[in-house]
Amino acid sequence: MSSINVTRGSGAYANLMNWKRRGERILRASGAPLTIIRPGWFGSNEPRAILQQGDVQEYGSVAIEHVAQALIAGLEHPGYTVELFSGPGAPVADWGSAFGALRMDVPRALDGFADPATLPEASEPEPVRTALTRARALDRRDRRPST
């Protein structure tokens, strides 16, 4: 789990968001079968979970139940990066279909599908570039460095 706005490298929380994005990138580079959930602000009472991609919605709230449901569903449907909000409408009855309507991330890509390219790898701090190199060297089957 990460948070919305990680691709927005400006404002009062720019440094925090850049570090959250770096964590996402290292996970994706590892090739681990995972889905990254970026929830909005907790506290919505709306009944429908809404999945989006591209980190385009700056504000929005989410029901805590939707966060739990999306995290569990993400284990069963790896390969996505999604923003999660709550809104009016019918609750999600089939999370597989909800994820299936989205675009999967490119395997081992730095950023999620449709994320803006606003943080070039070459500008990353050396420890982050080193962590990315190590993550890319992991064997997908057992997560040990490949030989």
Please check the confidence at residue 146 and state whether its pLDDT lies above 90: no
Q: Where residue 145 falls among pLDDT bands split at 50, 70, 90?
A: low
- Report the predicted TM-score, pTM, of the whole model to 2 decimal places: 0.91
Amino acid at 56: V
pLDDT tens per residue across span 82-92: 999 999 999 99
pLDDT digits (tens, 9 = 90+) for 47-87: 999 999 999 998 999 999 999 999 999 999 999 999 999 99
| Helix, strand, coil percent content, the chain, rounded in steps of 5 | 35, 15, 50
Which pLDDT score, from 0 to 100, does residue 10 have? 79
pLDDT tier for residue 8 given thresholds of 50, 70 and 90? confident
Q: What is the pLDDT of residue 147?
A: 52
Confidence grade of residue 9 (pLDDT, cut at 50, 70, 90): confident
Which H helix or E strand runs over 62? strand 61-62
| Tens-digit pLDDT profile for residues 93-131 | 999 999 999 999 999 999 999 999 889 999 999 999 999
Q: Where are the beta strands (DSSP E) in the chain?
A: 36-39, 41-42, 48-52, 61-62, 81-87
